[in-house]
Structure 1
Amino acid sequence: MKKTVAAAIAIALSGVLFPSASASAAAAGPLKVLTGEGTAICPKGSVCLYAYPDYNAGHPKGLIWAVSGSVPKLSTYKNPDNNAASLYVRTSSKYFVMAYEDENYRGDYIPLGGTPIRDLRKNRDVYSEGTNDHPHKRPFANVISSVRFAEVEVTS
């Protein structure tokens, strides 16, 4: 099977650690606000944004924003806008997910594959609109303002 990521490119142009957690959903829709630490709390089908590095390690009441669909303005929810220090990806391979620096899927972005990011303060490949072939390295902590899920078309 051959996966086509043309839809994801078009969009770009426009482990269980510390399993203690208590889930307290505070928002309806594609984003739930949880508290806890570790990756076990991250619901299947979500990208979890953590307030602290290492998935809130040492912060049992640290906020976690579980995003399960596209959110153009994280600022409409309880504090996730520009507050993520780490993230964990627990989505299906049928989705291509990107985190953007600006609202409405604009500005610099990072593609989120299945690799968790323990510390967004460290340098990583960051892409700019229109230059998806030429990433630059920089931290991406405390800048995520929107998250986009795009279904990947699978053809045989």
Structure 2
Amino acid sequence: MTASCGAEPLHLQVNGRACSIPGVPREATLLHLLRNDLGLNGPKYGCGLGQCGACTVHVDGVAARSCVIPAHGVAGRAITTLEGLGTRGRWHPVQAAFEDAQAAQCGYCLNGMVMQAAALLARDPQASEARIRSELSGNLCRCGTHIEILDAVQRAAVRMRAETNR
């Protein structure tokens, strides 16, 4: 991302780390900042309209579409991307469940599905199948792995409840 006249530095938390990015243009989206300036490839550019879910991140723990959020609009806030949700060998329960259920085909929707599901289960670890379906209804998967995705989220819910009951 190139700096524009009058661009000011942006301060925010990304995946638990304080970031200060100089020269962020006022028109920059959070998605472009994450991908282009910070090199985070979890959130994907899908539609650019906030309708497909591929760009979903957490802003202060709430699932949000980063392609339509002005980067300066989240100054000082905590942003979590797929890379910050869990790490290889220590996956978040939703990531582990997606792997176990083989819920990805092409993988393009995976970021949005995982991030949306993680936000749901953080709020409601008892989420019913109907609630899960409703929550994920705004995330598009063109490969048709919807049944595997639903299975993965249900597995994650079971894991998260078991971890809570320990």
TM-score (norm 1): 0.30
Greater share of strand: 1
> Normalising by the residue count of structure 2, what TM-score does the alignment of the two structures yield?
0.29
Higher RCO, 1 or 2 (CA under 8 Å, sep at least 6)?
1
Structure with higher Rg: it is: 2
Which has a greater percent of helix?
2
